[in-house]
Structure 1
């Protein structure tokens, strides 16, 4: 028998923006886990207003996804690679310790950031959902679904659907699962995250 996890919600509109030190944007934290002052996992939405470098985070793996705007070009200092990302691109995973420079393609963007301490959460992922997708889950894990510009629906191993309003993050921890534990996400514009605990 599968236990339905207790989902929690946080709407972006109910968070406060924190200005960046370089003045190039703001960040709204949605979830800092397990403790806001000593987190190993952080989910946030950034408003990028100007070109400039990203802050470095030693020991952190990052995922970055454009939510709205024309997009960005991220130049990786260590490898020399440049990634052009738009609101339809797959999330980019990278080492948070490396030097990274952001260039706006045509005006400000809104972007989703997942940060996970590499030694604490080595098995993590972020995927974009545009339609209908499902996953067989491993445990223990923290699950999160971000509904961006359209509602999203989460179904848990055949149980009744969980509706998520646009601009809202739903998250839950899962302590146990079996081979029949399946999570389904439906949505025109959503992100799915699974973070191993």
Structure 2
């Protein structure tokens, strides 16, 4: 369930989102947010529980960010190039249309996915372990996912407290200063 407060933040708790099983039986996905709607989204954020190795679905025209939140990690074969991704690694950026296979390293994982329709400006995803700050000067969507701990988000003078396993996102139409404090969170920027 998404709730929008008077602050402009949309807040979604993972526990409120039903799991959708994959057609190949390899796991489940929880769609946290997509914009503008489910039928024709420009961006989508989800958490996936991967139970067994197998191929990723292809998404033509989509830039994809992938990061491991829990578990030993995965080895992704993206168009013949191997990438080992663990819970301590930076998020991996790749073409959603590429043939991508996933091998679990040592058991199940929980992963975060950001998919963005390809445009002229790049999207961004970074891990926050401690403090992170950004000065924004363009129209965009920003998001924070608190995955390993609660997070404190400062947006100009406004403070948002996020519980563990919670996503907050909002549109930014002008300049703003953002600060995040968390032991485990993701910061994302999506151009308008």
Shorter-normalised TM-score: what interval?
A: over 0.9
Alignment partner, residue 171 of structure 1: 169
Q: Give the alignment's Cα RMSD to 1 decimal.
A: 1.3
**Distance in 1 between the 2:20 and 2:93 partners?**
23
Q: What residue number does 2:188 align with?
A: 193
Q: Using the alignment, how far apart are the partners of 1:138 and 1:170 within structure 2?
A: 20
Q: What is the rounded CA distance, in whole Å, between the counterparts of 2:58 and 2:46 in structure 1?
A: 16
- Once residues 32 and 160 of structure 1 are traced to their aligned partners in structure 2, the CA distance between those partners, rounded to angstroms, is 24
Aligned residue pairs, count: 187
Distance in 2 between residues matched to 1:182 and 1:81, nearest whole Å: 37
What is the correspondence of 1:90-101 to structure 2 with a 5 Å cutoff? 90-101=90-101
TM-score (norm 1): 0.92
Matches within 5 A, 1:82-161: 82-119=82-119, 122-157=121-156, 159-161=157-159
SS in 2 for 1:161: strand
Q: Which structure features the higher share of strand residues?
A: 2
User: Deviation digits for residues 103-155 of structure 1, max 9, x if unmatched?
Assistant: 00000000000000003x73310000000010111321101000002000111
**Structure 2 runs not aligned, ≥5 long:** 1-5
Is the Cα–Cα contact under 8 Å of residues 17 and 27 in structure 1 kept in the other structure? yes
TM-score (norm 2): 0.94
List structure 1 segments (4+ residues) > 6 angstroms apart after TM superposition: none
